[in-house]
């Protein structure tokens, strides 16, 4: 399986197209990851809120336990401290929720920024490349098959006339020479078909 043409001009175009496709895909991934890092900075307040809530809850729990040991009024002192500790736990949960939300947004944004550009590039770039590879493989098989040169010559005749300018034209014309089985003309025309496909004769 041939991936690149043998003719310099077509090969250069193919290599350039491949490099552009790879560069666009790499740039899309890099940009998406950079955006993700920027979005994840928004999770920092959530981490601080979670940490503050945990510290508050821990401190108030400890204070409640200490207050519960006060004779006679220990139970009364512990209840408000426990309620405040629960509020601290709620604050910590809110911080965690904010972090999860930011992470989800960052993940979805990253996927979108990668999938859409990469899909667009692949749709534009991959089908022509695969089509060329298949066409070249077919041309090679045709050339090696019995009578393949005749069919390639016919392809050249039915293609753009500008490709035939380098072929010497016999008095009756190229088509007539092909019909008569003129091997010289058939050989020249098959070379045109090969060059058109990006192959060396």
pLDDT tens, position by position, 43-56: 777 667 666 666 65
Task: Report H helices in 69-163.
Answer: 74-144, 148-158
Residue 36 resides in a domain:
yes
pLDDT of res. 76: 56
* Residues 8 and 104 occupy one common structural domain: yes
Please give the backbone phi and psi of residue 168, each rounded to the nearest 5 degrees, phi first: -60, 130
Give the largest Cα separation in the chain, rounded.
125
Q: What average pLDDT does this structure show over 130-152?
A: 81
* Residues 104 and 191 occupy one common structural domain: no
Q: What average pLDDT does this structure show over 194-200?
A: 79
* Residues 36 and 107 occupy one common structural domain: yes
pLDDT of res. 20: 93
pLDDT tens, position by position, 146-155: 777 777 777 7
- The domain in which residue 119 lies consists of 1-133
* Residues 186 and 93 occupy one common structural domain: no
pTM, 2 dp: 0.68
Residue 138 resides in a domain:
no
Residue 156 resides in a domain:
yes
* Residues 76 and 16 occupy one common structural domain: yes
* Residues 14 and 92 occupy one common structural domain: yes
Evaluate if residue 112 carries a pLDDT over 90.
yes
- Residue pair 10/196 in contact (Cβ under 8 Å)? The answer is no
Q: Which of 133, 165, 184 is the last residue of a domain?
A: 133
pLDDT of res. 178: 67
pLDDT of res. 141: 80
The span from the CA of 98 to the CA of 32, in Å, is 21
Helix, strand or coil, per DSSP, at residue 96 = helix
* Residues 107 and 160 occupy one common structural domain: no
pLDDT of res. 21: 92
* Residues 124 and 173 occupy one common structural domain: no
* Residues 32 and 101 occupy one common structural domain: yes
């Amino acid at each position: 399986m041939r991936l690149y043409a043998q003719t310099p001009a077509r090969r250069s175009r193919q290599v350039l197209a491949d490099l552009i496709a790879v560069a666009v895909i790499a740039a899309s991934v890099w940009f998406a990851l950079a955006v993700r890092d920027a979005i994840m900075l928004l999770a920092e307040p959530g981490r601080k809120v979670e940490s503050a809530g945990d510290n508050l809850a821990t401190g108030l729990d400890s204070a409640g336990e200490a207050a519960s040991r006060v004779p006679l009024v220990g139970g009364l002192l512990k209840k408000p401290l426990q309620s405040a500790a629960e509020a601290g736990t709620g604050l910590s949960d809110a911080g965690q929720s904010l972090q999860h939300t930011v992470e989800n947004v960052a993940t979805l944004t990253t996927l979108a920024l990668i999938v859409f550009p990469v899909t667009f590039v692949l749709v534009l770039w991959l089908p022509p490349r695969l089509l060329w590879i298949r066409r070249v493989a077919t041309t090679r098989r045709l050339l090696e098959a019995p009578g393949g040169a005749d069919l390639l010559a016919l392809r050249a005749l039915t293609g753009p006339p500008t490709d035939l300018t380098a072929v010497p034209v016999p008095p009756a014309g190229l088509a007539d020479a092909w019909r008569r089985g003129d091997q010289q003309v058939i050989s020249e025309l098959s070379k045109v078909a090969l060059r058109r496909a990006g192959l060396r004769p």
